[in-house]
Structure 1
């Protein structure tokens, strides 16, 4: 010991740095998230944000998100700053065709350590349920491109010229009221408001 004849000693500080390894998979806090969006929302409109957590540190928490189901109408992107999954509209939605969509989003670790693959899959899934809300859509003529009608030049006033048909695409299918924005500058034809029949005018 120090101070005794023939014994010398010293001391130093040893710093031990423990580095993190990627031994934890990403986990979604919830197995389902619910959002709503209007059927009139434009393509690219964000529907909602979800985020998985990772118990690791640093780059071992980096993850990316994929869509496993529902990728026909929706897409997911990864916000590199917040590590959030942003679910947005990929194609136009239609309330009348389908009101609820289940989108399966998967979180995957970017840097998987092969030493820990035996611990299980370094990925997790959640369901994003999207409810589509209705908007009041204008009537649709059938056929949409219109039609050509012919009438004799000596046809009498009130003679039948032809029939046009329109329908309300909304679920309530309200009655359609007809009006003529333009038929002829001289009003050669008449269209009854509550009918779809075109008659000869003056």
Structure 2
């Protein structure tokens, strides 16, 4: 950074910051500090001061990757649909993310593990509900009640399986002609 972020008090030698420091922009500084006396001749020496910037929980997790999943209707329960992913620009505990499933009308049909693994808990019927919208939360582990979170929507689409036989309604409405064909396979003739 071209901006000077530190100052040294010429009397006490105390090193202070002159601007806000952001670990995500610059995480280490190396300063060359010179100390000189008022003697005649003046004597001086230099020292390198290394400053490491500690992390504060100043970022919330951000979702990335898939948030749209699908499953064929009538599949058995406990199928893993996929894995939610989020990242946090902080370090350490501040960057460790866990996932939770928030309340929604169909939330009880799903399980979301803390690592982001999303599972079905029931078998779905597309004709009852073709799409499920879930609210999920990614939370970092910021200490002292300073955890940050981000909410997102996850959509689960139920893929149709040909499980409904065709239906023929007879008699037809007035003025509607109905043609019925009977096909016999040559092997069955």
Note whether the superposition's TM-score is higher than 0.5: yes
Q: Which residue, 52, 55, 62 being the options, matches 2:96?
A: 62
- 1:10 partner SS: strand
Does the aligned pair in 2 maintain the 1:65–1:77 contact within 8 Å? yes
- Deviation, 1:89, is 0.6
User: Are residues 113 and 27 of structure 1, via their aligned partners in 2, closer, same or farther at CA, if it must alter by over 3 Å?
Assistant: farther
Distance in 1 (alpha carbons) for counterparts of 2:143 and 2:77? 34
49, 53, 74: which one aligns with 2:110: 74
Q: Contact conserved, 2:87 with 2:97, CA < 8 A, in 1?
A: no
Q: Is the 8 A contact 1:35 1:129 kept in 2?
A: yes
Secondary structure in 1 aligned to 2:52? coil
Q: TM-score, normalised by structure 2?
A: 0.57
CA-based RMSD of the aligned residues comes to 2.9
* Offset at residue 132 of structure 1 (A): 0.7
Question: Which residue does 2:161 correspond to in 1?
Answer: 135
Map 1:176-191; keep pairs closer than 5 Å: none
Q: Which of the numbers 31, 45, 57 marks the counterpart of 1:22? A: 57
Corresponding residue number in structure 2 for 1:146: none
Residue 104 of structure 1 deviates from its aligned partner by 0.9
Unaligned ranges ≥5, structure 1: 80-84, 138-169, 176-202
Q: Deviations over 1:84-108 (max 9, x none)?
A: x221112222223211111111111
Separation in structure 1 between the aligned mates of residue 76 and residue 118 of structure 2, nearest angstrom: 13
Partner of 1:43: 77
Pair 1:90-2:124 in alignment? no
Counterpart of 1:102 in structure 2 is: 133
